[in-house]
Structure 1
Amino acid sequence: MRGNGISYDTGYRNEFGVSTHEPWDPEVVARDLRVIRDDLHCTAVRVTGGDPDKLETAARLAADLGLEVWFSPFTGELTTADLLVLLADCAERAERLRLAGADVVLVTGAELSLFTVGFLPGSNGHERTEALLKTPREQLGPLLAQVPAKINDFLADAVRLGHLPGRRGAGRAQRVDRPVRERPPGPAGRRVRAGRAGAGRLPARVVGNLRNRGCGHGVRLHVRQLPPAR
């Protein structure tokens, strides 16, 4: 284990517009992050939430404390098109932090299939969860079999949008596309290496680890400096 980490919620906003972190006070956030470093002895923090400004504020405060930052937008009820726009914004914010000297990991989502419109049937997360729980077993397999292609298409669009070369990984049910060679299994499933997605505006390496129990929930992207292309 290379480090100890914990998640810090900057505010998930549900379909009713209610945030899980109110009131928002950067001074309190800074105090919380000092507790995470000094009292909990963490070396990394995953900052989650649906507001890029709050994510960046918390991420910068964490980086100033010397913590490894996992920049993790956690959204609800966005379309895939809206989520791509938000991810592009977050990628640029994460890259600014990296250029300033921070150790940054960009996470492209959490529970994507349940909290994003379009991967599973249902107009909201509650309906999508109910669909999984109440679908007869003989019909559940075919339903979930449709998800990997949708997740793959979305992740490919996310990589192209950010022009990010790198690696991606997935649980076995996901069958993430474009593997070049498999890496040893980790706690979240298989790791695969994908080819470079092309030169881009973000000079970064992307490492993904799709944590999933069959529905396609998110991918972690490690943002690191790449050597110059030959």
Structure 2
Amino acid sequence: MSESRMDRAQFLRRAAALGLLAGVGGTAAAGALPPLAAAAEGSETQAGSRGAGEAGGRRRHPRLAFKGVAYDVGTGFLGDDSRARWNHELMRGEIRAVRHRLHANWVSIYGSNVERLVETAEVALRQGLAVSVQPRAFDEPQADALEKLRQVAVAVEGLRRRYDKEVILAVGCEFMLFTPGIVPGADFFERVEYLTKGEFDMKELQRKFRTFTAQMVKVARRNFQGRITYGAAHDLENVDWSLFDIVGLDYYSYHEDPAGHTKELAPFKKWGKPIMILEFGCCTFTGAPELGGMGWDIVDFSGDVPVIPPQYTRDEQAQADHLANMLEVFTDEGFLGASMYTFISSDAPHRPNDRPHDEDIAAFSLCKVRRKDSDDPASPYRWEPKKSFHSVARYYATH
């Protein structure tokens, strides 16, 4: 196993110890303002979609104004890039598929490279998609994170002024875990270890978290005139949503009864602001929905190559059904939008004739990737839609 692969495995296992890092495995959030125009003509905002009656006393059905998917432009950690192969034409083709094959009207763009974030956002806007843009990094010093956000905010403000589709700025993601200076520790590993010991003052950690978040909001407001949000770990971070226009959540919970979701999500409605689910989903095996954001942890990294243990059966239908069910939940809750994690995971190739090493089984993506050289993350690849892709496309086309 290469050193970078060993580091990645260590990263995931340390993260698993917390049970909080939903979404990391694919690489790797109240004074309400008036709702903005819907992302697509005829869509309803959260505020106007619940409990309103139509002519004749019939109840109007809620709809998601923003029907989206998360899209990684390359998230760096431990010296790696989750999109080792990247070029403009490849990205354009994938964004075109988001618009015309998935029938989405919003793409939630995240990653570490400012140029890629802005380039992808402009391509999406030209395709007629609304966009949210989120700079994301691991162990980036706070001063560097503030400067990167400033650069992104300035660039996407230019896009917001130039195009007539919605442009939203997400100031970041799960700061308590990824950003130094909040939780003690020189790097991510040390912060995780500190938290797993359980001997800390959560009130003090939350104070530091809110101080840094307020600084990021200040930079965003100074350089961007559109709506802002944040990708919050819904079960960890106590966000002051009065600073934001939209409540943004990374949500991977599983409940057999939708009432469980209603109960868990109710506190976020008390802010009186639109809610967007920036991430949700599951991996591609039987039982993955129950594991939620921890589905990637089934991979055995102890040998020379990653192995999918034999008790896990590839099951595209389980993923497809779960995504459709969750879209129903978020629609019924009257949320502004939802984007599943994630469109593509090019670092988890599909090996159809080699089940023990079919890394796509433990991927959250709507597409399976077939590389020319499955052992080289920078090699050319083609992607094929999974059943979940078709399930989401049908939902988006008919709702």
Q: TM-score, normalised by structure 1?
A: 0.70
Choose between structure 1 and 2: higher helix proportion: 2
The answer to whether 1:159 aligns with 2:238 is: no
Choose between structure 1 and 2: higher strand proportion: 1
Partner letter of residue 124 of structure 2? A
Question: What secondary structure, in the 3-state scheme, does the structure 2 residue paired with 1:146 have?
Answer: helix
Go from structure 1 to structure 2 and tell me whether the alpha carbon gap of 1:167 and 1:6 turns closer, same or farther (over 3 Å shift): closer
Distance apart, 1:190 and its partner CA: 5.0
Structure with larger RCO (C-alpha < 8 A, sep 6+)? 2
Q: Deviations over 1:178-199 (max 9, x none)?
A: 67xxx9x9668256489xxxxx
- Cα RMSD (Å): 3.2
8 Å CA contact 1:168, 1:208 repeated in 2:
no
Distance 1:174 1:167 in 2: 17
* Aligned-pair identity (%): 25
Instruction: Name the residue aligned to 1:39.
Output: 101
Go from structure 1 to structure 2 and tell me whether the alpha carbon gap of 1:120 and 1:48 turns closer, same or farther (over 3 Å shift): same
Instruction: Name the residue aligned to 1:145.
Output: 203
The answer to whether 1:122 aligns with 2:180 is: no
Instruction: Name the residue aligned to 1:74.
Output: 136
Instruction: Name the residue aligned to 1:6.
Output: 69
Go from structure 1 to structure 2 and tell me whether the alpha carbon gap of 1:104 and 1:175 turns closer, same or farther (over 3 Å shift): closer
* Unaligned segments of structure 1, at least 5 residues: 195-206, 212-230
Partner letter of residue 123 of structure 1? A
Partner letter of residue 74 of structure 2? G
Q: Deviations over 1:201-225 (max 9, x none)?
A: xxxxxx89798xxxxxxxxxxxxxx
Partner letter of residue 8 of structure 1? Y
Instruction: Name the residue aligned to 1:92.
Output: 154
Go from structure 1 to structure 2 and tell me whether the alpha carbon gap of 1:187 and 1:18 turns closer, same or farther (over 3 Å shift): farther
8 Å CA contact 2:111, 2:136 repeated in 1:
yes
8 Å CA contact 1:11, 1:51 repeated in 2:
yes
8 Å CA contact 2:110, 2:117 repeated in 1:
yes
Distance 2:69 2:99 in 1: 10
86, 89, 93: which one aligns with 1:27: 89
Go from structure 1 to structure 2 and tell me whether the alpha carbon gap of 1:85 and 1:188 turns closer, same or farther (over 3 Å shift): farther
Distance 1:14 1:145 in 2: 28
Distance 2:168 2:134 in 1: 8
Question: What secondary structure, in the 3-state scheme, does the structure 2 residue paired with 1:76 have?
Answer: coil
Q: Deviations over 1:13-53 (max 9, x none)?
A: 113x2111122111100100111112211111111111100
Distance 1:42 1:210 in 2: 14
8 Å CA contact 2:168, 2:229 repeated in 1:
no
**Which structure's CA Rg is the greater one?**
2
Question: What secondary structure, in the 3-state scheme, does the structure 1 residue paired with 2:191 have?
Answer: helix
8 Å CA contact 2:171, 2:228 repeated in 1:
no
* Unaligned segments of structure 2, at least 5 residues: 1-63, 248-263, 279-399
Distance 2:168 2:148 in 1: 16
Instruction: Name the residue aligned to 1:203.
Output: none
Go from structure 1 to structure 2 and tell me whether the alpha carbon gap of 1:94 and 1:110 turns closer, same or farther (over 3 Å shift): same
Question: What secondary structure, in the 3-state scheme, does the structure 1 residue paired with 2:214 have?
Answer: helix
Go from structure 1 to structure 2 and tell me whether the alpha carbon gap of 1:177 and 1:97 turns closer, same or farther (over 3 Å shift): closer
Distance apart, 1:149 and its partner CA: 1.6
8 Å CA contact 2:171, 2:217 repeated in 1:
no
Question: What secondary structure, in the 3-state scheme, does the structure 2 residue paired with 1:108 have?
Answer: strand
Distance 1:93 1:109 in 2: 16
Q: Deviations over 1:115-160 (max 9, x none)?
A: 111111222222222322x223xx35x2x22222212212222233
Aligned length: 189
